């Protein structure tokens, strides 16, 4: 098959230049993807940490309820100490729920590895390797 003068295949130097540009562009896109994924995971970790902090505050209020219950004699139906323990148990139960939700949020955001970006890079490397072997 003959080629016209203006219909030549690109030279090896041109192909290497194009490959370099494409790899560079691909690397920038993968870095952008990784940064976006890390921001998303960071938000989840922040929300989970906030919920864990809320659980800690409620646990502290539980301790204060125990102390107040032991100090104050306010029970009308139950003995004062028993009333204080009932209130504290409710506060601790709420703190437990918040702690479980917070832990779930932290697990969703960790480890802070841009997994989607890593998979994209692996696919890109595989595609480039496949084309190089053709």
* pLDDT digits (tens), the chain, 134 positions: 444 545 577 788 888 888 888 888 888 888 888 888 888 888 888 888 899 999 999 998 888 887 677 556 457 888 877 877 877 888 789 899 999 999 988 888 777 777 777 787 788 778 777 776 66
CA distance 96 to 110: 21
Q: Residue 74's pLDDT is what? A: 53
Residue 4, domain member (yes or no): no
Query: Which residue, 37, 38, 36, 33, is CA-closest to 123?
Result: 33
- Residue 61 inside a domain? The answer is yes
Q: What is the pLDDT of residue 36?
A: 84
**What is the model's pLDDT at position 2?**
47
From residue 6, give the alpha-carbon distance in Å to each of 1, 11, 15, 28, 122. 15, 13, 17, 33, 37
Tell me, what's the pLDDT at 68?
Answer: 78
99 is a domain residue: yes
Would you list the DSSP string of 7-73?
A: GPPPPHHHHHHHHHHHHHHHHHHHHHHHHHHHHHHHHHHHHHHHHHHHHHHHHHHHHHHHHHHHH--
The answer to whether residue 82 sits within a structural domain is: yes
Output the pTM of the full model. Answer: 0.41
- Kindly state whether residue 7 falls inside one of the protein's structural domains: no
Q: Could you give the number of structural domains in the chain?
A: 1
Q: Which two tokens stand for residue 125?
A: 């490397």
What single DSSP character describes residue 96?
H
Q: What is the pLDDT of residue 73?
A: 47
Within a domain: 113: yes
CB 48 within 8 Å of CB 104: yes
Contact 42, 112 (CB under 8 A): yes
Question: Quick check: bond before 112 cis, omega within 30?
Answer: no
Range of the domain at 43: 13-132
pLDDT of residue 71: 55
């Amino acid at each position: 098959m003959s080629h016209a003068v203006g219909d030549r295949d690109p030279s090896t130097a041109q192909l290497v230049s194009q490959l370099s540009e494409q790899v560079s562009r691909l690397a920038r896109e993968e870095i952008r993807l990784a940064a976006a994924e890390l921001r998303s995971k960071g938000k989840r970790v922040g929300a989970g940490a906030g919920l864990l902090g809320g659980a800690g505050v409620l646990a502290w209020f539980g301790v204060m309820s125990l102390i107040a219950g032991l100090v104050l004699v306010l029970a009308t139906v139950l003995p004062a100490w028993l009333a204080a323990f009932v209130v504290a148990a409710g506060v601790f139960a709420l703190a437990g729920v918040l702690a479980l939700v917070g832990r779930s949020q932290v697990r969703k955001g960790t480890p802070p590895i841009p997994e989607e970006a890593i998979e994209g890079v692996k696919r890109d490397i595989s595609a480039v390797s496949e084309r190089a072997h053709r």
